[in-house]
Structure 1
Amino acid sequence: MEFIITIALLIIGFAWIAYQNKSKGSDLDNSKNDDLVQQIINLKSELSAKEERIKILNEKILETQESKEETEERLTKEFENLAHKILDLNSEKFKKQNKEQIDTLLNPLSEQIEKFKKKVEDTNEKGVERNAMLMQKINSLESLNNKLSQDALNLTNALKGDSKTQGDWGENRLELLLEKSGLSNGVHFSTQGGYKDDEGKLKKPDFIIYLPDNKHLIIDSKVSLTAYVDYYNAEDDITEQQAIKRHLDSIKRHYMELSDKDYPNLYGINAPDHVLMFIPNEPALMLALNEDKNLYINALEKNIVLVSASTLLATLSTVASIWKQEDQKRNALEIAKEGGLLYDKFEGFVQDLIKVGKSLKSSKDSYEDAMNKLTDGRGNIIKKIENLKDLGAKTKKSLPQNIIDRANNDEDN
């Protein structure tokens, strides 16, 4: 548009100049006017051509603008479609990857949950079974407890009134304790063995424990329950104190009588001066020791050691350990002895093998000598025997071919 305005202004300028020249110039010649007219015509023609050109350019610009808008619109749509496709593709891929990652994370968890679920179910089943078994055991224990309570009551009543029964019960408890410690009756200990004192009187210690090197340990069981039961059944302090005094007197009487028997000096006994006095009811012993702090020392001065199940068990465990070491020592000596005998026998066996080897070598040498006599030299025996066959001797068997070959080779040599 600026170009058109410029052309128009030029035309107007030229027209104005021509007009001025015409009005002024009577002195201007017609030739110049014609030139100007021609220039104006030319300019108009050029202006028309330019306008046409501008029109064409404007149309092309318009077409280009429309084409550009269409292209932009098409590209925008294509970009949007492509963006949607990429988004959809990425979304699908993202979902797939997410699913794979989630599966990777959750699958082990799911497996663990399944295992845990199964374990819980198994545990519940086993729990029901265990509860049933537990209830059964509780019922059994309840029945057993009732039975034991009744047995204990019966035993208490029996022990309370019969000293012989009390003694047998204490000895049974002691023997059970010995066996629980790993000692065997007749091997590691004996019961009620008869031994004579200096005056020839026969005495029978409850238990003689055997130790290595022909040594012994003496244990005697003493039961004091009557006064102890009275103590627990006492309904007042006076009765209780009287029962405790009788209980102490009973234990003192037992260890004094045991000391007077002088078991360590019996013939055939090689034991320390002290005898172990076993009191099977440990609370009964504890009651006496708490009541009389000097009870243990006073008994020890009489060469009597007061023991209960817990204190005796340590001693018996030591004895069992000593015997175990002794058995291992004896086994080691026996192994050494048997090993020596085995070595001697093996040496004899080796000597016999050497003799057999020499005999085999001698036999082989004799065999080689005999074979050489058969096959060596010209006219050897094998060759002559074969010649008989070649001359027509009737035979049913033939000599081994390797022997014949050997004879022929030796003859050739």
Structure 2
Amino acid sequence: MATPSILIILFLLILLALSLRRILADASIKGEVERLRLEVQELAELRRLTASLQTELEIERSREGKRDAFLQQTEARLNTAFENLSRTILEERGRALGEENSSRMNQLMQPFREQLESFRQRVDAVHRDDTELAGQLKEQLVQLMNLNARVGEEASSLVRAIKGDSKKQGNWGELVIERIFEDSGLSRGREYRVQESFRNDDGALVRPDFIVSLPGEKSVVVDSKVSLTAYERYWGLEAGEEKTAALREHVASVRRHVAELQQKDYTGIGGNRTLDFVIMCIPVEPAWQSALEGDPELLYELAGKNVVICGPATLMITLKLIAQLWRREKENRNAELIASLGGKIYDQVVLVAEALSEARRRLSAVEESFDLAQRRLQNGRGNLVRRVEAIRSLGAKVSRSMPEDALDESGSEED
């Protein structure tokens, strides 16, 4: 009996536990349902709020797009108006400054052009002189050969005509040497003088046959000495004692002429410092050569004296060299003038560069002034365009309207 009772009690306890579990489960479900209901309500509210915010965002985006488009259009109009106004002002100022600078530039460049043309002409002249000089030297060598042959022929014929007459011989010798001077390229009265009277440093009156000026305020004396009497007899004799004696007499005559020149003092004549030797020219080349053949030591003896003996050919070469010295002197002077002219041209270029720099500075100043005037006229909240428009809106009587671009650039009162 005891055992069935326990079983019944256990059964009842199990039923009670199951009932309690069901009751607890129902209460938990109700709480979960309530919680879910609240969450659903919150989610619905969030969805409504999100939709509202999304709508407002779309509206704001639309407004912002319109505002950006308006700002871009306004900025484009302002830029276009400013560029047009700037271009107009700069063109007007640039045209005025360009005309002024063009006039000033022409004034500055005119001396430069003239000096450049002078410089070009001088360079062309120097080049032309060098070219002519090369041709002249060749031509003069041919003339020298012809002259030497002609002098020899004339000497042979004249020896017979003036034989024994020293005065005629001297005149003829001076004539021959003068012809050599004329063919030398030197200018009479400027680079050489003929038989002019001077007083030397001692006050004595001297009259050289020829005095040749050298560059550097120097000069050299050329004297003609003719000794043909013994020379003609020498060539007219056959070999023998008489021919030898005639040659010795010819050499002695040459020595006498040398001694005469040694006694003359040509120092300081003609306003120039003369060289310490005199050129004695024997106008008959064979006569000079015969004197050397008769006394080979003659040339060495004269080396220590102040007399230099030469024939027509040597004199021509000497005068050609002197003429060449004068040409070089002229070229050097031209080079100095060219250098001076180059310096002046450089100075003119500097002036032009300075004028261009000044023009650039003025253009920059004009642009800065224009920008400043533009800002004062149309920029800022209290710009002049706004103020005068405010005056007009208050009822001021006006006859003209403000340009639209100026109004656009100045902004509106609401900005």
Higher relative contact order (CA 8 A, sep 6+): 2
TM-score, with structure 2 as normaliser: 0.48
